[in-house]
Amino acid sequence: MKLAAYLGSTEDHQFQVTADTAAEAREAIEPKVPAGHDLIEVLHQSQRTGGVVATARTRSTETRQLTAEGATYEEAKAALAATVPDGWRVLSTRVVEP
């Protein structure tokens, strides 16, 4: 049996911006998202002195595909899991050849 896995990078970046409002913070964040990354989280924190500090987290959109074989589905899945490199996660798995 042959399986294919679609992998996604776990590389992410975090940065902060300060603004008067949450909406202004969001506007300041958008142009700072690195190319090839998606914005996945924004946390806003109000300051006692006024204003907002927003912490943004982005994740790489890079993907790749791996294949592995085994006599059974379980063996092929174990072989596939053993080949996933550090910094990557399995997004989906499918049977290529039964």
C-alpha radius of gyration, the chain, whole number: 20
Is residue 95 very low, low, confident or very high in pLDDT (cuts 50, 70, 90)? very high
Mean pLDDT of 68-87: 95
Q: Judge contact between 28 and 17, C-beta under 8 A.
A: yes
pLDDT of residue 97: 85
Coil/strand/helix, residue 61: coil
Q: How far apart are CA 67 and CA 97, in angstroms?
A: 11
pLDDT beyond 90 at 90: yes
Number of domains in the chain: 1
Coil/strand/helix, residue 51: coil
Q: Judge contact between 54 and 26, C-beta under 8 A.
A: yes
- Cα→Cα distances 92→24, 54, 86, Å: 37, 32, 17
pLDDT of residue 27: 95
Output the CA torsion sign for 53, 54, 57, 61.
negative
What digits encode the pLDDT tens for the residues 18-76?
Answer: 999 999 999 999 999 999 999 999 999 998 888 999 999 999 999 999 999 999 999 99
Q: Which residue has the higher pLDDT, 97 or 44?
A: 44
What digits encode the pLDDT tens for the residues 3-24?
Answer: 999 999 999 999 999 999 999 9
Domain range for 19:
2-97
